[in-house]
Structure 1
């Protein structure tokens, strides 16, 4: 059997195991998703009340102190104590908080009525920043609901104990109120809607755009490699043509992807803004990949395939859920993160295409990449040859 005489056959088990090893590494960030210091806002608007023999009573302040004492550096939640509801709403829209717990101004007054014949159950508002991150907002919702459930349990025990000490029997209204002595109203803000791939539409759009960037850069690179340049000037002029071609590809990719997203059923709030932003993202990726190819050749292409497999799982995760190593050393350097953040702002936060952080970051990547592409047209050997000819 001639096959056994091929040396590559003996290396195939090693290659197979190596491929499995590389791909299993991509699962590490997703294996143990434990949130750490997930920022959730807390607003105590409770005005309290004056009680005979007790003086000023403010249950909202007591809850606030309990929250502060329960927070540690290693807590899954980081409670951010905010002064006003308006400040919270601004923070939610600016993606500072994954959720918020708001105690109303009449909380103590209504809580005091639970021991009267006409109980008036106090209410707490829970805000969940749904568009910020699907997984993190789900965790925030669970934390907020759990916090109110714990308050309910503590308040129920305290009130029942007072009734027992006073030897008073509960009326039907009081018993009904004590079933849930604190009402909670859950409100989703910056909602993802029903046609957003469960809130993961920004991440879903990344992969086709990234692969199209790799394909476009590879095709243009191979086309340029076939051209013979007679001078350095001609090569530089050709690079200008490269930029124009990249712009055309970017517009085609941006508008094409936005249109196809609508075709498959994804809700695109502003087609023009989304298409133009995707075009900017494509051009940034295209120039980045082209810069590496211009210096390393096609052997640089696997770098971006590996970035895809290692980076894609992180894009759907909030930084507070990532392991420390990935959050501090991998996530900040992922170029596709700016694309996902920008699309999320357009889709879920009512933003329009402006010169924001995402656009400026993508533009900076493009600028640096273009400098590298043009620099590749000026190798030292070419400069020396031109100088020798001029002499």
Structure 2
């Protein structure tokens, strides 16, 4: 009995002779550190340089010569604070007309817009007359561009108008006080909110879009399906013994062709599932075709990496999923320069999200726009790399054996 106990104790202690067992605490800390990096953008997202259009069509007054629209624009722009990195939250872009603003919103140039109409000064001056008429301004909010960024832009614009309203009310009350005139009921009602602000949501996300996040939610199932498809093809191909480069090339061509079939199955089935679950999809065929391209792009990209480095390439795509996916819900203007320039800009899946946004919220059908063309180019590069892998040196027998064991 004592001899058996000593043997068991020796076996347990022999575990600690393995360097990986000894290093496990450090490995755990390293893994936690890497994946905790995905938390950073979500902790305190602060807008900086959100592009906001501003239109001042105010014709002003001749006597006295004054343009209150220009004064209001100046007040709003000068009141803008700066964030922790010394940048303003909004980047004001002056636009000449309301029509140009609407075109810019549809082309995703601005998250919001402020429009001051041509009779602004005239109506503002009327507030001191017996027949007051409140001037009206319009705030356009581009909901489909990004849910969180457009919401922030709306809040900041409303606050800016609220501050101007308070300032105008104070100045008008001072004017009445100097004149010693009584304020009528009509004037008092107008003074409660001197400027009438109307908020208009354009490219609206609707009620069945997960608050505008449906394109982001649809990324993960498609990504996992393409990853699993690539892994299965890798394991099956490695289990087969190809005698020469031609056989490997033929296998790669079959993989590409069957990947196209899988892409069609994924694109149309996923669109049908999403629509059945309640997602508002107005262009079924266009959405299915775009998802087909996205799946095939991801499948070719992942397969290309696997064809050269094997299952070790899995770590790349796992990191892309866990580090990249949280960034997809943020507008670039809500991220630090590091995450914006070095991570988000390099994520292939963001083009899928951008393409779905155009399909879902901007009323555009399938077309060869920027997101679609980028996906096609990524897929073409993946195709080329996958096909050329047929001419590399074959794997060592012991490596093949390890893959076969994993497959079994």
- 1:67 offset after TM fit, Å? 3.8
CA distance in 1, matches of 2:175, 2:13: 86
Given the alignment of the two structures, is residue 330 of structure 1 paired with residue 351 of structure 2, yes or no? no
Given the alignment of the two structures, is residue 370 of structure 1 paired with residue 379 of structure 2, yes or no? no
For the 8 Å contact 1:284–1:362, the answer to whether it is kept is yes
The corresponding residue for 1:217 is 230
For the 8 Å contact 1:126–1:187, the answer to whether it is kept is yes
SS for the counterpart of 1:191 is: coil
CA distance in 2, matches of 1:69, 1:178: 24
For the 8 Å contact 1:67–1:79, the answer to whether it is kept is no
Aligned-CA RMSD value: 1.7
CA-to-aligned-CA distance 1:73-113 (integer Å, 9 cap, x gap)? 71000111100001000000010000011111111111111
For the 8 Å contact 2:234–2:307, the answer to whether it is kept is yes
CA distance in 1, matches of 2:28, 2:247: 45
TM-score normalised according to structure 2 size:
0.89
For the 8 Å contact 2:75–2:164, the answer to whether it is kept is no
SS for the counterpart of 1:376 is: helix
Higher alpha-carbon deviation: 66-75 or 344-353: 66-75
Residue among 69, 77, 92 paired with 1:60: 69
CA-to-aligned-CA distance 1:191-215 (integer Å, 9 cap, x gap)? 0000001110000000111111110
TM-score normalised according to structure 1 size:
0.93
For the 8 Å contact 1:106–1:122, the answer to whether it is kept is yes
The corresponding residue for 2:160 is 147
Given the alignment of the two structures, is residue 287 of structure 1 paired with residue 300 of structure 2, yes or no? yes
Residue among 227, 236, 240 paired with 1:227: 240
Where do residues 308-319 of structure 1 align in structure 2 (5 Å cutoff)? 308-319=321-332
Where do residues 7-22 of structure 1 align in structure 2 (5 Å cutoff)? 7=16, 10-22=22-34
Where do residues 94-243 of structure 1 align in structure 2 (5 Å cutoff)? 94-243=107-256
Residue among 44, 53, 56 paired with 2:56: 44
How many residues end up aligned between the 2 structures?
379
CA distance in 1, matches of 2:117, 2:46: 31
SS for the counterpart of 2:210 is: coil
CA-to-aligned-CA distance 1:281-338 (integer Å, 9 cap, x gap)? 0111111100110000001111101110000111000000001111111111100010
CA distance in 2, matches of 1:381, 1:306: 28
CA distance in 2, matches of 1:174, 1:363: 62
CA distance in 2, matches of 1:100, 1:3: 68
List runs of 5+ in structure 2 lacking aligned partners: 1-8, 396-408
CA distance in 2, matches of 1:298, 1:267: 37
Higher alpha-carbon deviation: 222-231 or 277-286: 222-231
The corresponding residue for 2:5 is none
CA distance in 2, matches of 1:48, 1:3: 88
For the 8 Å contact 1:217–1:286, the answer to whether it is kept is yes
CA distance in 2, matches of 1:143, 1:32: 17
CA distance in 2, matches of 1:226, 1:247: 23
- 1:11 offset after TM fit, Å? 3.9
CA-to-aligned-CA distance 1:141-190 (integer Å, 9 cap, x gap)? 10110111011011111111111111112111111110100011111000
The corresponding residue for 2:406 is none
For the 8 Å contact 1:103–1:125, the answer to whether it is kept is yes
SS for the counterpart of 1:229 is: coil
CA-to-aligned-CA distance 1:226-268 (integer Å, 9 cap, x gap)? 2222232222222211111110111111111111111211111
For the 8 Å contact 2:53–2:113, the answer to whether it is kept is yes
- 1:20 offset after TM fit, Å? 2.0
